[in-house]
């Protein structure tokens, strides 16, 4: 811009110089002044045009810089959006796979529930029959448990999973009776009379009875489903068993008439 201004000033000075020279000559007159004016006017227009072109070029350069900056920003945003789109696509595919797996699990669960309910009913029926035919220990406690279990099995509002859990819990409790000893107080029918005393449960092997006065004892005969008195010679062993079961005496070996196991086909 400074170069153009200096150049313009130089051209004007030159034109003015020659114009003055023409004016100074007595032979040129007014005609020479018109020629100088005609020379100056195109030059000024040219300079003005070049100045406007330079301004426009500068403006375009600024606009180009602004557009380049906007383009770079948009390109950066585009890369970010492409990355996010890729992640969202992967997440969507993973979600679809999870939904498919959940649907398969749901179908398998429905199939298992459909097949499990008859099994639960069958196990409960066998358990109820077993408890009814078992030795008569903890009769009240076991009867309450079986009654509550039956209500849960027949209740349509209880899920199959909960019914299965309750049946398995009852089975576990009944199985645990076979590995534990216990002493509790109960009335028994013996020789036509009801007698109250302490009962020693030796797992599921045998039940022994000791009267409250500790002067008589008995054993439950599973084959005949009745309490049978024992000879007085077994009183010390039964008394010791009661004390061991109540943890008032350390464990020791005892000689108790537990009977014998019946073989298949053998008469009871």
The model's pTM: 0.55
- Express each pLDDT in 123-164 by its tens digit: 999 999 999 888 888 888 999 999 999 999 999 889 888 999
Q: Domain coordinates of the chain in residue numbers?
A: 120-177, 181-245
The tens digit of pLDDT for each residue in 251-264 reads 888 888 876 555 44
Q: Which pLDDT tens digit goes with each residue over 52-63? A: 888 888 888 888
Tell me the HSE value of 231 on the side-chain side, using a 13 A CA sphere. 4
């Amino acid at each position: 811009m400074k170069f153009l201004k200096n150049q313009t000033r130089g051209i004007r000075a030159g034109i003015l110089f020659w114009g003055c020279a023409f004016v100074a000559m007595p032979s040129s007159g007014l005609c020479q002044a018109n020629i100088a004016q005609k020379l100056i006017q195109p030059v000024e227009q040219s300079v003005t045009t070049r100045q406007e072109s330079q301004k426009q070029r500068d403006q375009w350069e600024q606009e180009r810089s602004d557009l380049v900056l906007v383009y770079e920003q948009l390109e950066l945003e585009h890369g970010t959006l492409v990355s996010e789109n890729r992640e969202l696509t992967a997440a969507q595919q993973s979600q679809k796979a999870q939904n498919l797996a959940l649907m398969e699990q749901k179908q398998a669960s429905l199939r298992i529930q459909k097949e499990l309910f008859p099994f639960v009913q069958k196990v409960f029926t066998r358990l109820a029959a077993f408890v009814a035919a078992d030795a008569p220990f903890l009769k009240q406690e076991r009867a309450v448990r079986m009654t509550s279990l039956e209500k849960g099995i027949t209740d349509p509002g209880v899920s199959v999973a909960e019914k299965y859990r309750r049946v398995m819990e009852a089975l576990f409790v009944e199985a645990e009776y076979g590995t534990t000893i216990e002493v509790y107080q109960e009335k028994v029918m013996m020789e036509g009379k009801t007698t109250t005393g302490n009962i020693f449960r030796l797992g599921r092997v045998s039940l022994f009875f000791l009267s409250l006065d500790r002067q008589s004892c008995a054993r439950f005969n599973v084959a005949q489903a009745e309490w049978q008195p024992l000879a007085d010679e077994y009183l010390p062993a039964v008394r010791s068993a009661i004390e061991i079961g109540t943890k008032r005496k350390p464990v020791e070996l005892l000689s108790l008439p537990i009977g014998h196991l019946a073989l298949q086909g053998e008469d009871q």
